Amino acid sequence: MPDLARFAHRFRFLRLLRASLALGALYDAVFAGLMVAAPGRLGEWFEVPLPPRFFLWLLAVVLLMLAGFYLLAAKDPRRYSGNIAVAIVGRLAGAVALGLAAGLHDLAGLWGAAAADAGFALAHFVLWRPLR
């Protein structure tokens, strides 16, 4: 029975990891869409000055690519485990960068995005670690 319980526990972590990765993909895809369709709204919500649209479009493309990598890992976490490691490190780096921008440049609207990136990094790490 302990083996069955351990298997069920690992399966639960796997399902939660896949869900967190899919949610990360959705999060990035939504931001990419907003960068293209409603950049002014983003500027208002986050209270930040926006770069020219061309740069937002490039960032949107990168975010959509990132969402694709997330979806690959969500579909098959074992095969794409490298994507998960990169996602954890990338989200942590994003949290630090956004936090530094918020603190050093008085852009308080970025604290929420920094917290979201840190939350994704923590969730991915906590859910992935037992599966390794």
Instruction: Select from 3, 21, 7 the least CA-distant residue to 77.
Output: 21
Residue range 89-106, pLDDT digits in tens: 999 999 999 999 999 999
110: DSSP letter: G
pLDDT of residue 2: 65
Per domain, the residue ranges of the chain are 2-131
Strands, DSSP E only, in 6-131? none
What's the chain's Rg over C-alpha atoms? 17
Residue range 59-68, pLDDT digits in tens: 999 999 999 9
pTM to 2 decimal places:
0.89
